[in-house]
Amino acid sequence: MRVVHYINQFFAGVGGEEAAGTEPELREGPVGPGKRLAALLGDEHEIVATAVCGDDHASEHSDFAAALVESAREKGAELLVAGPAFTSGRYGLACARIVVAAAEAGLPALAAMHPDNPGLHEAAGTPVVESGATGREMRPSLERLAAATRKLAGGEELTADDGRIGPVARVNHMAERSAAERAVALLLDRLGGDREATEIPLPTFDQVTPADPVADPADALVALLTEGGFVPAGNPDRLESARATKWVRHSLEGRDSVEEGEFESVHGGFSTQWANAEPNRILPLDVARELEQEGAIGGLHTEYFATTGNGTTVADARRFGVEWAAELHEARIQAAILTAT
């Protein structure tokens, strides 16, 4: 089959975070890890082109996926493969979006990412196979992706034995037994000790282990974060009041507090009257500056991060957390205060 492979700007060799805004493009033949993938696929399948897009551009422009899929179809693609994205949140989200767009356009598609990637549940039933956690596991991840690609190209369904992870699309079929008979059988399985038997697997949620306490707050650089929809007056970034798909950042330099009229909450899940009358209730900059001046904390990060928690999907919230953690780690932040409503 003729295959188009999707990768981000990093694996395409364009650059790191400074190139995350790279616009979508289609390149001839395999690029970067696609060269190894092409070798693993053998002579039966050919990577005719590589679709490339920067992680920031992909997360901010959801239409990138449909445009690349259309370009892939024009290239004669019969199958689209994305990743491996490992645990990279924005990359995983982009991979999920492009395989969903491909599937909607009638083009078979497959992605590879780690089970902890926040993009996994965005794949909406489109096949995803497990990759390693980091690029250090590129080789075995590509081997699994290649094996799954060959099987999918052969018209076979992928299963957990192939490394398939994430939600599976529900398909109607005629059952051999009635609902009553199946219910009794499930009950008997449970009474017999089988706690896994089910016809409808329930979603799983993370169990987050808290980080160790800060050894000495007086030496720690602290960041302020909030899910309270906290934005400069007028909401210049157009942060959603519910079901947020993004987060924002704004400078705190030169400020000892956040004042009425200069900041507001656009959160749609509570009355913001009192929050807007005293914005420090949402983002406690005034108290944080006092702690900084007293030496109780080593310093305050120059920016705050905000999103809206009202109705936001678990997948998006998880992606925000991954992205915030990466940003704070890069800025050498030792602790964060996250306010919620």
Q: What domains appear along the chain, each with residue ranges and CATH number?
A: 2-162 (3.40.50.2300), 217-339 (no CATH)
| Length of the chain in terms of residues written | 341
pLDDT score for 296 = 96
Handedness of CA 323, 62, 229, 286 (dihedral sign): positive
Amino acid in position 106: G
**Per-position pLDDT tens, the chain of length 341:** 999 999 999 999 999 888 999 999 999 999 999 999 999 999 999 999 999 999 989 988 889 999 999 999 999 999 999 999 998 888 999 999 999 999 999 999 999 999 888 888 888 789 999 999 889 999 999 999 999 999 999 999 898 889 999 876 667 778 899 999 999 999 999 999 998 888 877 666 667 788 889 999 999 999 999 999 999 999 999 999 988 999 999 999 999 999 999 999 999 988 899 999 999 999 999 999 999 999 999 999 999 999 999 888 777 888 899 899 989 999 999 999 999 88
pLDDT tens digits for 16-26? 888 999 999 99
pLDDT score for 211 = 85
Helix H, strand E, coil C: the string for the chain is CEEEEEEECCCCCCCCHHHCCCCCEEEECCCCHHHHHHHHHCCCCEEEEEEEECHHHHHHCCCHHHHHHHHHHHCCCCEEEECCCCCCHHHHHHHHHHHHHHHHCCCCEEEEECCCCCCHHHCCCCCEEECCCCHHHHHHHHHHHHHHHHHHHCCCCCCHHHCECCCCCCCCCCCCCCHHHHHHHHHHHHHCCCCCCCCCCCCCCCCCCCCCCCCCHHHCEEEEEECECEEECCCCCCCCCCCCCCCEEEECCCCCCCCECCEEECCCCCCCHHHHHCHHHCCCHHHHHHHHHHCCCCEEEEEEEECECCCCCHHHHHHHHHHHHHHHHHCCCCEEEEECC
Nearest of 320, 325, 310 to residue 229 by alpha carbon: 310
pLDDT score for 247 = 96
Residues 6+ apart with CB under 8 A from 213: none
- What tokens does 137 get? 């596991």
